[in-house]
Structure 1
Amino acid sequence: MIDLAALTRRRIAEPQAIAGAWQTRLPATRPADGRILLIAADHPARGALTVRGEPRMADRRELLGRLATALSRPGVDGVLGTPDILEDLLLAGLLEGKLVIGSMNRGGLQGATFEFDDRFTAYDVPTIVNHNLDGGKMLTRIALDDAGSASTLEASGAAVTALATARKLALVEPFLSARRGVRRVENLLDPDSVIASIAIASGLGASSAYTWLKLPVVGEMERVLTATTLPTLLLGGDPAGDPDRTYAGWAAALAIPPAAGLVVGRALLYPPDDDVAAAVDTAARLVHGDRK
């Protein structure tokens, strides 16, 4: 278990220890099978705290405990998060040998009138490079009727270029989206909308050499995934239905190239039966088979 009081005391007494810990962290090696399972923990910084309609992610102690359990399981290759969460995990020694992807744009706060103007308010490329992170992730929502999407697209393109120059993974999460009223944004999850988002995201930046996509599992995934040759991680989302049906959907999509793994947060950290270890182990088997 993480000693949360000790983390806070260390943050007070030794804030410089964080930079030092990044420099001495044991780096990750890519799994031999070329497939990746990442645990996502960047939701809170965008004000997205709910799981199946309840504000479960608001309790940071509980969230860190669930992350500690997930990262301890065999077959979990790494984590995606914002600096506050990743630095807690780092100080707790939980990132040794793990892939670490820094979440970059969290400024499009959930429910804000400026949600589509998704500013890069978390990690930047120099910090990703200096702290030896493995890459950066950007949420890239595209609303054809909201001018805020233009700045998000421009910033995402610049980040893809800078990450490619630094030979760091650029994980782009695109959605065609629409505003429903003043404060509600809806991602369009029909196959044709996802295909259009793939085409737009694939063209961002001056090079796609280090670009991977993060895509939702939707209908007609065989047709959807013909839209790209870029390595693709499937998004777990916040499923409210039967977990077995969710796992079956992941398994079917993982069998389709260029799917290369999963990025899952709430579905594994807060499963309906609250058994984090069992949920994570199921996802690991889907990604890596019976590898231990």
Structure 2
Amino acid sequence: MTPSSVSISELAALRSRHPEAIAEAAARRRRRPLVRDGARLMIVAADHPARGALGVGGDELAMADRADLLERLVLALSRPGVDGVLASADILEDLLLLGALEEKVVLGSMNRGGLAGASFELDDRFTGHRAEDLARARFDGGKLLLRIDLQDPGSLRTLHSAARAVDDMAAHRLPVFVEPFLSTRSGGRVVNDLRGPAVARSVAIASGLGGTSAYTWLKLPVTDDPEDMARVCGASTLPVVLLGGEVHGDQEGAYEKWRKALGLPTVRGLVVGRSLLYPAGGDVGSAVDTAVGLL
């Protein structure tokens, strides 16, 4: 059994008999530049399961079926205009073995210790990819989540760890996509403040992390008010990708918000996960094609 002939049903057998196949697939993967000739990025995100966040809409375990998730990812990555994927190590390694990452941008998710719903959710430890792991696997960058609750001491530990991760990524000359939020707890849940002033403040904090911002990108939510979004992106000169987030059934409304925000000068693309992989109508290919069309 060779990686080029592996199907999803054969992944477990290959992993058990030939664990070295993952490193071999990573070593021979055909790479590409992060950004091609100023074009904008279209990245599909699938790092939610590693934080225990498996729900989509009303289905709390939608992303728990790994074979189904991989089928959706392989389809999304095959669509024209899709540049790459953001995921945790296990998912990226499955995609490597399936041959789905050739000439794609591959971004590893770095901190997944802040498990959804946990008392320690905002003490978001770096339990995923390290800079050295990403460099060894010849991946193209990493992403870290930075949620800051001014009333939670765990946020300070996350902030400090995030700054050191930015330094480590820069030392390897690897881009790091920082996803910042100002957050609070409400009813036992962490809630991100998506109002313009709060997002702009989070941008200012994230932009100053580490000893250099040379390799730092920002991964930001889209605010409801287009004028707020302009102020948010104006809070930094760092390149920005827009995150998709929950669309709550209003897929067309989400597309329109993304389209307007993509017109801002620092915005360089989209990183979208569940709303494309599990669209309301069920047609992954059509949802991905529509998002690509916005670019």
Partner of 1:290: none
Determine helix, strand or coil for the equivalent of 1:251: helix
AA aligned opposite 2:270: L
Determine helix, strand or coil for the equivalent of 1:141: strand
- The yes-or-no answer on 1:202 pairing with 2:195 is no
Partner of 1:96: 102
Deviation string, structure 1 residues 29-88 (Cα, Å, up to 9, x no partner): 232233101000000000111111312111111111100110000100000000000000
AA aligned opposite 2:204: A
- 1:5 Cα deviation (Å)? 2.0
Separation in structure 1 between the aligned mates of residue 62 and residue 37 of structure 2, nearest angstrom = 35
- Name which of 24, 27, 35 aligns with 1:20: 24
Alpha carbons 2:52, 2:115 under 8 Å: kept: yes
Partner of 2:15: 11
Separation in structure 1 between the aligned mates of residue 112 and residue 124 of structure 2, nearest angstrom = 7
The percent of aligned pairs where both chains have the same amino acid is 54
CA RMSD of aligned residues (A): 1.2
Partner of 2:118: 112
Tell me which moved more, 25-34 or 184-193. Answer: 25-34
Separation in structure 2 between the aligned mates of residue 17 and residue 2 of structure 1, nearest angstrom = 11
Within a 5 Å distance, the mapping from 1:1-292 to structure 2 comes to: 3-29=7-33, 30-54=35-59, 55-181=61-187, 183-218=188-223, 219=225, 220-287=228-295
- Where structure 2 has 5 or more consecutive residues not aligned to the other structure, the ranges are none
Separation in structure 2 between the aligned mates of residue 34 and residue 75 of structure 1, nearest angstrom = 10
Deviation string, structure 1 residues 115-158 (Cα, Å, up to 9, x no partner): 00000001011111111111110000000000000110111100
TM-score computed with the length of structure 1 as normaliser: 0.96
Determine helix, strand or coil for the equivalent of 1:119: coil
- Where structure 1 has 5 or more consecutive residues not aligned to the other structure, the ranges are 288-292
Alpha carbons 1:49, 1:56 under 8 Å: kept: yes
Separation in structure 2 between the aligned mates of residue 151 and residue 242 of structure 1, nearest angstrom = 36
Deviation string, structure 1 residues 228-276 (Cα, Å, up to 9, x no partner): 1100000001211321111010000000120100000001001100100
Separation in structure 2 between the aligned mates of residue 140 and residue 286 of structure 1, nearest angstrom = 27
Separation in structure 2 between the aligned mates of residue 69 and residue 238 of structure 1, nearest angstrom = 21
AA aligned opposite 1:144: L
Determine helix, strand or coil for the equivalent of 1:172: strand
Aligned residues: 286
Determine helix, strand or coil for the equivalent of 2:114: coil
Tell me which moved more, 45-54 or 110-119. Answer: 45-54
Determine helix, strand or coil for the equivalent of 1:227: coil
AA aligned opposite 1:33: G
Deviation string, structure 1 residues 182-210 (Cα, Å, up to 9, x no partner): x3100011101000100000000110001
Deviation string, structure 1 residues 100-128 (Cα, Å, up to 9, x no partner): 00000000000000000000001011111
- 1:2 Cα deviation (Å)? 7.2
